[in-house]
Amino acid sequence: MATPFVPPDFSVPAELTFGAVRLTPLGPEHNAADYAAWTSSIDHIRGTPGFPDGTWPRPMTPAENLHDLERHANDFVLRQGFTYTVLEPSGDVVGCVYIYPSDDEHVDAAVLSWVRADRSELDRPLSDAVRAWLHRDWPSTRSTTPSASPNKRAVCYAACGIRSWWARSIARAIWRRPNCRGIPRV
């Protein structure tokens, strides 16, 4: 059986507010505004750390975008990944934050974010707010032995003094175990 991405008893945060914007779970109801946001900012998003390979954003129809949003919403319900839309008080979508399991065996989660090109001043504040939120409100473990928790990687990180599963810099937040197989702490 696969290790759960977050502990079964963890209550996933439904919202984060910082400044005049708020993060709420991304869903199909955001399709039109989400589509308008990212299609107006493809070059800016591709220049954002974490999106350098050019596979996203890619041209798609509003119907394909809706399918993508339904997939993200389903991942949220199944606790397999967590995507939040970044909303202005008017309800306009200005970006997204993705929290998904990492493919790197030494990292629990990869966190990516993007904002519209016309709101690029939010890139850094969004990253800082998400980093603080992950550190403050998301799972951490204090156990020092792998047998004390179903998530052995999180226990390994806690044993090295890392409090939270996630955090890093501007668009990608990752905590790594110090000196784990020669990988420096980031």
* pLDDT of the residue at 183: 33
Inform me whether the pLDDT recorded for 126 exceeds 70.
Answer: yes
The secondary element (H helix, E strand) that includes residue 159 is helix 152-159
Task: Report CA 116 to chain centroid distance, whole Å.
Answer: 17
* pLDDT of the residue at 141: 32
Parse the chain into domains and list their residue ranges: 16-139
Nearest to 160 by CA among 173, 174, 147, 141: 141
Task: Give the pLDDT confidence of 29-80 residue by residue, as tens digits.
Answer: 999 999 999 999 999 998 888 776 778 898 899 999 999 999 999 999 999 9
pLDDT-derived band at 4, boundaries 50, 70, 90 = confident
CATH code assigned to 16-139 = 3.40.630.30
**Percentage of the chain lying above the pLDDT 90 cut:** 48
